[in-house]
Amino acid sequence: MSHGAASADPDVQFLHDRMRTRPDTESVARFVPGPGIERLTLRFDPGALRAALEECLSRASYAGSMQAEGFAALPLTRRPGQTEWTENDLSGRYWLRTDVSGVEHPREALVPEIDFSEFNPVFAGTYFEHVHAELAKRFPIGRVRVLSKDVYNCNSWHRDPEPRLHVPIVTNPGSLFVVNHHVTHLPADGSVYFTDTRGYHTALNGGESRRVHLVAALAFDQLTD
């Protein structure tokens, strides 16, 4: 290709233009709001959240068979009188596209979020009970779980029946949340983040330390199928 032809090639010009600037490597460690991921004004004490996590883990261990895959749950709410949680209680219905056909497939059974109306008495008196009370007096809250994600780990690309509130407890800059086309880090600074998980989404931990969030399902509209 001659020099004149190369200079007329739009791809050559495009790459030359791009090499004049460098990507932003600072803002990725902060929260950047976007469609499907927004921060509420409500805030909690980040130190108290971390202390509550340690206290709760001293009373009960993470549950669920997916721990070997880097996903573990600590159920903070229950159905009235419930003492045992099924695998479905810990995860619940989601949809995903499994192959190039793009056809959606449901996984697991629907969980009636509004049934999980009681705070788990195992964790009574902890700061998490205060967090649940503050959320429940403002919003219709269903399951509230502490979800732990291991290092170098990613969830499936899926959608849920309902949106969620996330309260990061322990995180690192390599932990990201993605909803549709927007991705951002959620700092563990006591903030409460609305995540519209009715859209396709995933959570990933690309850091070298575990990522732990308190996650509350919003039970506004309950699907029956």
Q: How confident is the prediction along the chain (225 residues), in pLDDT tens digits per residue?
A: 555 666 689 999 999 999 999 999 999 999 999 999 999 999 999 999 999 999 999 999 998 887 877 889 999 999 999 999 999 999 999 999 999 999 999 999 999 999 999 999 999 999 999 999 999 999 999 999 999 999 999 999 999 999 999 999 999 999 999 999 999 999 999 999 999 999 999 999 999 999 999 999 999 987 777
Q: Compute φ and ψ for 190, nearest 5 degrees.
A: 90, -5
51: left (phi over 0), alpha (psi -120 to 50) or beta: alpha
**Under 8 Å between Cβ of 73 and 56:** no
126 CB contacts (<8 Å, ≥6 apart)?
Answer: 52, 55, 56
- In angstroms, the CA 187 to CA 166 distance is 11
- In angstroms, the CA 83 to CA 81 distance is 6
| Cα 225 versus chain centre, distance | 23
Residue environment code for 77-104, b if the CB has 16+ CB neighbours within 10 A, otherwise e:
bbeeeeeebeeebbbbbbeeeeeeeeee
Token readout for 20 is 């004049």
